Amino acid sequence: MTREIEEIDTLVIGAGQAGVAMSEHLTQLGIPHLVLEKNRIAEAWRSGRWDSLVANGPAWHDRFPGMTFPGVDPDDFVPKEQIADYFVAYADKFNAPIRTGVEVKRLERNHRQPGFRVETSAGVIHARHVVAATGPFQRPVIPPIAPADRSLTQIHSAHYRNPQQLPDGGVLVVGAGSSGVQIADELQRAGKTVYLSVGAHDRPPRAYRQRDFCWWLGVLGLWDAASQPGKEHVTIAVSGARGGHTVDFRALAHQGVNLVGLTQSFREGEVTFANDLAENIARGDANYLALLDAADAYIARNGLDLPEEPEARHILPDPACLTNPIRRLNFAEAGITSIVWATGYAVDYSWLQVNAVDEAGRPQHQRGVSSEPGIYFLGLPWLSRRGSTFIWGVWHDAKYIADHIATQHKYLDYQDATQRRHTSW
Ligand SMILES: Cc1cc2nc3c(=O)[nH]c(=O)nc-3n(C[C@H](O)[C@H](O)[C@H](O)COP(=O)(O)OP(=O)(O)OC[C@H]3O[C@@H](n4cnc5c(N)ncnc54)[C@H](O)[C@@H]3O)c2cc1C
């Protein structure tokens, strides 16, 4: 039996925050569209994050312009389930045409006619435009140096849920971006011996002179910054946990977390760390202090009445793990039984069989408009700016893409003089 083939002007793939934002803008422009989601709306916030996760930015900031978080203080950090609920409610608000439980398997260009043929788990759809909103963090990445040691429990941060999930014994957390530091902190507070492998990072103050760092990045134009070659992958270490606090590696060490440098290699039950811990911490400090300087200059230039905060410049004494760094650790001797890899994610566009990804699988686009006319990407890191993967940022990128699709409609609707004469008869 042949299944009926559906046709739609614009197909959006993925109903995370990116897909919901896209649907809102397409709805406003009157562009017929459909959103396909293989799981549930905002699934990543429900099953792809650890139990205690709250937003890294305050509720007034980490949201779409059209709706606040109901019943939440604007300065609070919203728990992950409530964030997912927010996107479900937001989609309901404008009756977003989202079909859940449908996975896109393959997409290819039509021959001798415009648009694309999209194979899904529920049949074939033909679409003129397709927006890939499948997320910036699709495939958890564990680097190839990971040891093939069956006596160790190894999980990626995407699969970490809570301290009880790990076996008794110490933990090595590799990666000290927002995920790694928050997980290391939680594990140490749960009574575990924790080693945290720290690489290059930025660490803005949680708040300075009565303004959250999200506010500072906004007024200083840093959310809008374009990617700088070599700096794209420098992680930001921030935390909304326990009411929000500045990530301070020295404070973590004084609390009991053992800091180590970049994880280099594993061999015969031992791990080796690079001799770069002091340098990585110093660079993070420099980034922290530079933001304080920029904030002070902004306040002075604009004559703002925000109280001075000299104590923010106080740096704690160096802990022993910083002055005398551990370069080598034997798992058995240190009692380490598990590794949490907080080492980031990759994208996976293997289903996209068109000229929009390069040989290495990297999306080719400018501000989300891909090298294959009619295909768009949304939600990717640095798509248009630093803010592109964040809740508020993706909303603006979605607007740009919806406008681009509307402009294409104008071109396609154009009629020359002869055609106009025919239609006016
Ligand atoms: C630990 C962590 C904490 C974060 N905290 C914050 C924060 O506090 N504030 C903030 O602004 N940002 C935060 N982010 C960044 C970002 O907001 C989230 O990663 C967010 O989930 C990205 O939204 P998205 O819609 O682009 O992608 P996703 O949420 O990943 O949504 C993509 C959707 O596409 C679906 N999909 C994928 N492939 C297919 C297919 N082939 N067919 C159909 N459907 C498909 C998936 O099921 C998924 O639901 C955080 C990220 C992480 C990892």
Give the SS3 label for residue 281: helix
Cα angle 165, 170, 174; round to 5: 85
Q: Which CATH number fits domain 140-341: 1.10.357.10, 3.40.50.620, 3.40.50.720, 3.50.50.60?
A: 3.50.50.60
Q: How confident is the model at residue 227 (pLDDT cuts 50, 70, 90)?
A: confident
Q: Per-residue pLDDT tens for 77-102? A: 999 999 999 999 999 999 999 999 99
Domain boundaries, the chain: 6-138+347-417, 140-341
Residues paired with 13 in a beta bridge? 36, 132
181 pLDDT above the threshold of 60:
yes
233 has a pLDDT exceeding 80: no
What distance in Å separates the CA atoms of residue 300 and residue 312, rounded to the nearest whole number?
Answer: 17
The per-residue pLDDT for range 288-310, each reduced to its tens digit, is: 999 999 999 999 999 999 999 99
CA of 23 to the centre of ligand 1 (A): 16
CA of 21 to the centre of ligand 1 (A): 12
Average pLDDT score over residue span 333-344? 97
- Cα–Cα nearest to 74, from 224, 220, 212, 223: 212
19-56 pLDDT tens trace: 999 999 999 999 999 999 999 999 999 999 999 999 99
Confidence tier at 224 by pLDDT (50, 70, 90): very high
Q: Which residues of 138-149 are buried (b: 16+ CB within 10 A; e: fewer)?
A: eebeeeeebbee
- The H or E element that residue 116 is part of is strand 116-120
Task: Name the residue at shortest CA distance from atom 15 of ligand 1.
Answer: 390
Ligand 1 contacts CB of residue 235 (under 6 A): no
Q: Which of 12, 82, 87, 134 to mutate to test the pocket of ligand 1 (most atoms within 8 A of CB)?
A: 134
Lowest mean pLDDT across 184-188, 228-232, 246-250, 416-420: 228-232
Task: Assess whether the region 6-138+347-417 and the region 140-341 belong to the same CATH fold.
Answer: yes
Q: How far, in Å, CA of 238 to CA of 204, rounded?
A: 7
Confidence check: pLDDT of 1 > 60: no
Q: Is the pLDDT of residue 3 over 70?
A: no
Distance from the CA of 18 to the center of ligand 1, in angstroms? 8
In short, whether 262's Cβ falls inside 6 Å of ligand 1 is: no
pLDDT on residue 232: 66
Mean pLDDT (the chain, rounded) = 95
Task: Give the lowest-confidence range in 111-115, 118-122, 366-370.
Answer: 111-115
Sign of CA dihedral 411, 407, 8, 374: positive
Mean pLDDT, range 50-65, rounded to an integer:
98
Residue 137 in contact with ligand 1 by CB distance below 6 A:
yes
379 lines ligand 1 (CB under 6 A): yes
Please tell me if the CB atom of residue 239 comes closer than 6 angstroms to any atom of ligand 1.
Answer: no
Amino acid 4: pLDDT = 67
6-138+347-417 CATH choice from 3.40.50.1010, 3.65.10.10, 3.40.50.460, 3.50.50.60? 3.50.50.60
Give residue 317 CA to ligand 1 midpoint distance, Å: 38
Give residue-wise pLDDT tens across range 132-143.
Answer: 999 999 999 999
Please answer whether residues 140 and 156 qualify as being in contact, where contact means their C-beta atoms are separated by less than 8 angstroms.
Answer: yes
Please compute the mean of the pLDDT values over residues 185-207 and round it to a whole number.
Answer: 97
Q: Once rounded to an integer, what is the mean pLDDT over residues 104-131?
A: 97
Residue 317 tokens, joined? 């004494």
Measured in angstroms, how far is the CA atom of residue 195 from the centroid of ligand 1?
A: 28
DSSP secondary structure string for all residues of 388-420: GGSHHHHHHHHHHHHHHHHHHHHHHH---HHHH
Binding site membership of 16 for ligand 1 (Cβ less than 6 Å): yes
pLDDT class for 425, splitting at 50, 70, 90? low
